[in-house]
Structure 1
Amino acid sequence: MPDLVPPPLSLYVHLPWCVRKCPYCDFNSHAAREPPPFEAYVDALVRDLEHDLPLVWGRTVHSVFFGGGTPSLFPPEAIDRFLQAAAARLRLAPDAEITLEANPGTAEHGRFDGYRAAGVNRISFGIQSFDDGCLRRLGRIHDSREAEAAVKLAQDAGFDNLNLDLMYALPGQDLAMAERDLERAFALQPAHISHYQLTLEPNTVFHVRPPEGLPDEDLAWDIQERCQALLEQAGYAQYETSAYARPGRQCAHNLNYWRYGDYLGIGAGAHGKITLGAEQAILRRWKQRHPATWMAAAGSAAAVGGDDRIDPERRPFEFMLNALRLHEGFAVAAFEARTGLPYAAIAAQVEQAVARGWLERDGGRIRPTALGRRFANDVIGLFL
């Protein structure tokens, strides 16, 4: 059996509050009925980080991601205080990518200057659409004018590493509307675009009461194909199922997820995955979901919602669930180092997928074909 080798490490920080819960959102987010306790929450984040530090002693953190919720609800001073506390307790790489998710409806003049001064060097905007009708049907709190203004505020503050989240197959959307969304995104010249289909996730309002006017499967596929072509023509290379980037501007934090890297998860409902080299084990840990419950327990074992050690039988599926999202696929050596399993553990399934035209081999690398990317769930299912 190959040794498990700890991969690159990231830090995920969950900031759970938002102005209003969107009807399609299944994340651990909570509508703020009054100003959130920003200072107390940062104190709890630091306690949570200290509690988990023994899992990652001596390791370098290559990326930090503030997700939510709506992290841009937090004032720059709170983000700065947390990053200073994290830098005093962790070894942050000098070129670490530090991303903050932002909602255009919470963008204010001067805030982006503050985030940049705090050390944030990448902003991810939840735009979703530039069509005001679509935005209303999605329950978003911003309009297209505010979206464009927020992006320009960030650019004026010196941010050139920006991601725009866009969804397609929206209620009432046709092909021309989806094309216009991309055209307006291109005009803003972001470094990265995340383009993904609206799905009706369990435990959401849309799952219980689906919106009217959803495109059928054929139209959704036409939109996807057309938008992929437009993104390529505009210089955005697709490197993952729903991620497109200018050269050298792929999201380092998300790449680490998809390459089965490690990440420490702190905050209410945060999830983490840590390779324990000395124990030759892979640990998944998640925190209590409700902000008040988690804050009261942060810094103690009671804040942990659960621990799960990933036994060897489950590792091939976990690895493939992530790695086969990437156009680059994976190196056989990386599979062995990050799962502690020999290639023989997946050889039969890989051969089956190659025979079906879903995967291709290139030396020591295995990657999905165009057909395999279209039938990604079927390919990944081979490894269950």
Structure 2
Amino acid sequence: MSSDSSSAQPTPAQIRRWRRYLADEIAEGAIYRELAERRTGQERQILLGLAEAEERHEAYWRTKLGEHARHVRPSTRRMFLRWLARHFGSVFVLALAQRAESSSPYEKDADATAQMAADEQVHEEVIRALATAGRARLSGNFRAAVFGANDGLVSNLALVMGIGATGVASGFVLFSGIAGLLAGALSMAAGEYVSVRSQRELLTASRPTQVTLAAAPNLDLDANELVLIYKARGMSDEDAEHRVAERMGLFTCDCNPSFSLHPEARAEELEKEHEELGSAPGAAASSFAFFASGAVIPILPYIFGLSGTGAVVLSLVLVGLALLGTGGVVGLLSGASPLKRGLRQLGIGLGAAAVTYCLGLLFETTAV
């Protein structure tokens, strides 16, 4: 329990802190209930279980606060998260909830119990597990979309900075930027299509077939290679022979579930890998669209007629904001700090632009 005695009067600092904790517990419980409304089955029960745990924490802080527990309002961040849960209930909300659970201050606060700190650690892992399926569904086409947008931002910004630094006319910079947009988008789409299609074909080639069922009736009982199929799938000699005997019709009792499910489990695993890859046309379309949407941002100032230093500065600002946004989304989905991921993307993009700009200065020419 808390190090404070039950009769001790809390300090103003403790009251403020406890009220913040209470507000967060109320909001998190509401978030989990909102998410549960959009789920069914076991996932719904898990979310409701988390909500009940938050209610226990809420009751603890209400007891500690006494009359000070009245009129507690959640933070703006928690209210926004609850709004997202109510209207979307997506993997983004689970990722935000995971991050909220991971940043719990209970472990370092003597006023919280060790059990509550342990609860928060468990809650983070539960949310991480619930978010895994959503992240897997996004990891194919979403990966292509994010990479495409970032490549478009960085590569076209670097191109525009490099060409612009040579001193050529703004119309030439705009033409170069449009050419870079089209060339890069087409290249990204083609590369992503080939990559995903090739990976799916490799997975398909590895998928177990039903040849053991089709061929078994016509095989020689005393001399056949059926056992080699199951050995190749990873079964032990004993399990493989047992499986062959069952396939050949010597008995119908499948007495060893651990190996009887092995081919089917492998097929399900391959199907899951297919899902995570996404479709080749979808990945290609995402790459093209997002590369183009990213690549158009550096040339927006030139499209609207700006030139010189003003166009360069505005281009850098627009691209910087976009890089912060894409990096933040990736950080959010991965459960990491959105700010750190955004700053990392910003540093990479502006670093590449700085290099090409310096190279452009080396080849500076008279503007025409």
TM over 0.5: no
In our comparison, the structure showing a higher alpha carbon Rg is 2
TM-score calculated relative to the size of structure 2: 0.22
Q: Kindly indicate which of the two structures has a greater share of residues assigned to strand.
A: 1
